[in-house]
Amino acid sequence: MNKSALQRARASYMPKVPKTLKGIVKIQEGEPTQSVSDQEAIQKLFPNTYGMPIITFVKGTERKTYPPMNVGVILSGGQAPGGHNVIAGLFDGIKSINSQSRLFGFILGPDGLIEHHYMELTGEVIDEYRNTGGFDIIGSGRTKLEDKDQFDKGLVILKQLNISALVIIGGDDSNTNACVLAEYYKQIGAGVQVIGCPKTIDGDLKNEMIETSFGFDTACKVYSEVIGNIQRDCNSSRKYWHFIKLMGRSASHIALECALQVQPNICIISEEVEAKNQSLDDIVQYIADIVAKRAANGNNFGIVLIPEGVIEFIPAMKKLIAELNEYLAKHDNEFKRIKRSHQRDYIIDKLSPENSKIYASLPETVARQLTLERDPHGNVQVSLIETEKLLAEMVGNRLAEMKKTGAYVGKFSTQTHFFGYEGRCAAPSNYDADYCYSLGYTAASLIAEGKTGYMSSVRNTTAPASEWIAGGVPITMMMNLERRHGGLKPVIRKAYVKLDGAPFRTFAANRDDWALNTEYVYPGPIQYFGPTEVCDQPTKTLQIEHEEQAKNSK
Ligand code: FBP
């Protein structure tokens, strides 16, 4: 494999780990736990894995011996920086527990388990991937592991390879399924433990015990670097408004974190849009008013950050999308027979008056995206809707109207961007390299202690890594019942931006100032070598949350 100079130097980086994971480790078990809600129902669904205690690993004195273990690992869902280090930590962890242990990777996500595609991850393979971005060591996939038939097929290969524990590295859905699998294998006495690891750049797999999902730190730093570069360009030529859409399928954690890092003129937060029942028109007017105010001060430039999922948080758009989904699911063939140039009018004619009016007001391109791009479940793929172009165009139209009444005097030229894939496979920051390695190493200790249905957890991560707290959280503890595909299902509760949380409040307290005054911060690229205050900083979100917790606990 050809490597860049940085890759070669970075390969020898030794991730920092909690001091309790070094040397002799002892397990400490807390009180029995409960799910976040719907306790009775969740307990019924998970009789074998419900109510287990939270686990913390502490320094031990007595060296125990463990038999060798064969462990399987799966990468599930979207890529996130640091996945390779979870696998490296897991490998080093099981080897330190017993040097005869072996690690097998299932290829291209859960499909690898079901279809029996795997490879042994030897020391030689692992060394090629230490501290690198991407999931390419074994690849990832989005197949959902949720049927008994899949579980049984998987068990055949697990038994063949003598694998006694499976580690699933994934987001909220994949970890929910990991728990269902753990419960099933325990119930049938399969002799296979299942451990989850919290992954997603979206940052929406977090709770009291899981501070952050891995990859969020690096992805946000990559986006903030390029947004900062654009801000500087923007402040140099002073002639463009940049509309920047940021990945994050649903929750706005990425947009909020980037806003805290770069201090843009505008950042839309989907959760606030929903809470205030805002319409598309309200968002357009909000942006147009700021553009007009800046123009009045002679500033015909600025930066707008838009979370990827905002469209679905606009209550009226949500209703429109729901009606479109349902209508097109039933009349797909008929719709496809309509001439392209007549499709828009066809839809306007078929929708309810309220939704028809909204649909008719959308620019041609977005109206088309709403009807054409559908996922395998028949839903509009909101991530493909070019919200940044939609808003830039609609704000331009609004400003033209305002110009007529004298409410706006200025020039409005736009550039649009979408940052998502650029950050998902970046080389992990020190934070993610350390955090991921520790998560993998912790998973190995959970396996050695015979645990199943747990998520690997590493906390206190705003402190130096040596002080981090490693352990395990029962996955059932994070669950509640949610309506999915028409029925109630047990799922890990997704974490959205809390409007009363300290990170959002910090943003809200500053945004009017950032809107009118140009207060840009230019974070620059992630640094891998250098002083700790440059290389090891966690996200602003995490820092602000921890500062508030510390204040409240005084
Ligand atoms: P995960 O939740 O699986 O980690 O994926 C997150 C994400 O990166 C979203 O931010 C984005 O909307 C989506 O994946 C894109 O999916 P795909 O890689 O299938 O295009």
CA dist 266 and 514 (Å) reads 8
Q: 106 CA to middle of ligand 1, Å? A: 20
Judge if the beta carbon of residue 200 lies within 6 A of ligand 1.
Answer: yes
Q: Across-strand partners of 106?
A: 118
Q: 421 CA to middle of ligand 1, Å? A: 9
pTM: 0.95
Q: 216 CA to middle of ligand 1, Å? A: 12
DSSP per-residue letters across 111-146 = HHHHHT-EEE--HHHHHHHTT--SSTTT--B-----
Quote the tokens at residue 305: 């950050």
Per DSSP, helices labelled H in 406-539 are 421-424, 430-448, 502-516, 532-535
Closest-lying ligand 1 atom to the alpha carbon of residue 204: 2
The residue whose CA has the least distance to atom 12 of ligand 1 is: 249
Look at the block and give the residue holding tokens 């801000």.
231
CA dist 82 and 431 (Å) reads 9
Q: In 3D, which of 271, 272, 220, 266 has the Cα closest to residue 246? A: 220
Whether 343 contacts 416, CB under 8 Å: no
Quote the tokens at residue 50: 């419900």
The residue whose CA has the least distance to atom 4 of ligand 1 is: 200
Q: In 3D, which of 554, 553, 540 has the Cα closest to residue 506? A: 540
Closest-lying ligand 1 atom to the alpha carbon of residue 199: 4
Element at 257 (helix H, strand E): helix 253-262
CA dist 316 and 16 (Å) reads 48
CB neighbour burial string for 281-311, b if at least 16 within 10 angstroms, e if fewer: eebbbbbbbbbbebbeeebbbbbbbbbbbbb
Q: What angle do CA 499, 256, 220 make, to 5 degrees?
A: 145
DSSP state of 465: G
Closest-lying ligand 1 atom to the alpha carbon of residue 254: 10
Whether 151 contacts 24, CB under 8 Å: no
Q: In 3D, which of 370, 248, 360, 356 has the Cα closest to residue 306? A: 248
Judge if the beta carbon of residue 523 lies within 6 A of ligand 1.
Answer: no
357-to-187, 212, 367 alpha-carbon distances in Å: 53, 41, 12
Q: Which tens digit of pLDDT belongs to each residue from 8-33?
A: 999 999 999 999 998 888 999 999 99
Quote the tokens at residue 40: 């009775």
Residue 475's pLDDT is 97
Element at 96 (helix H, strand E): helix 83-97
Judge if the beta carbon of residue 255 lies within 6 A of ligand 1.
Answer: no
Judge if the beta carbon of residue 308 lies within 6 A of ligand 1.
Answer: yes
Selecting among 111, 172, 173, 202, the annotated active-site residue is 202
What is the separation of C-alpha 484 from the centre of its chain, rounded to a whole number of angstroms?
20
Residue 163's pLDDT is 98
Whether 285 contacts 268, CB under 8 Å: no
Q: 140 CA to middle of ligand 1, Å? A: 12
Q: 196 CA to middle of ligand 1, Å? A: 18
The residue whose CA has the least distance to atom 17 of ligand 1 is: 78
Judge if the beta carbon of residue 383 lies within 6 A of ligand 1.
Answer: yes
Residue 439's pLDDT is 98
Residue 67's pLDDT is 95
Quote the tokens at residue 216: 């969020």
CA dist 202 and 219 (Å) reads 9
Give residues with Cβ within 8 angstroms of 40, minimum separation 6: none
DSSP per-residue letters across 364-382 = HHHHHHHHH-B-TTS-B-G
Q: In 3D, which of 76, 72, 70, 71 has the Cα closest to residue 169? A: 76
Low-confidence ranges of the chain (pLDDT < 50): none
Q: Reduce the secondary structure of 386-420 to three states and give it as a string.
A: CHHHHHHHHHHHHHHHHHHHCCCCCCCCEEEEEEC
User: Could you confirm whether 202 is annotated as catalytic?
Assistant: yes
Give the CB-side neighbour count of residue 343, counting CA atoms within 13 A: 22
CA dist 330 and 338 (Å) reads 15
CA dist 375 and 381 (Å) reads 6
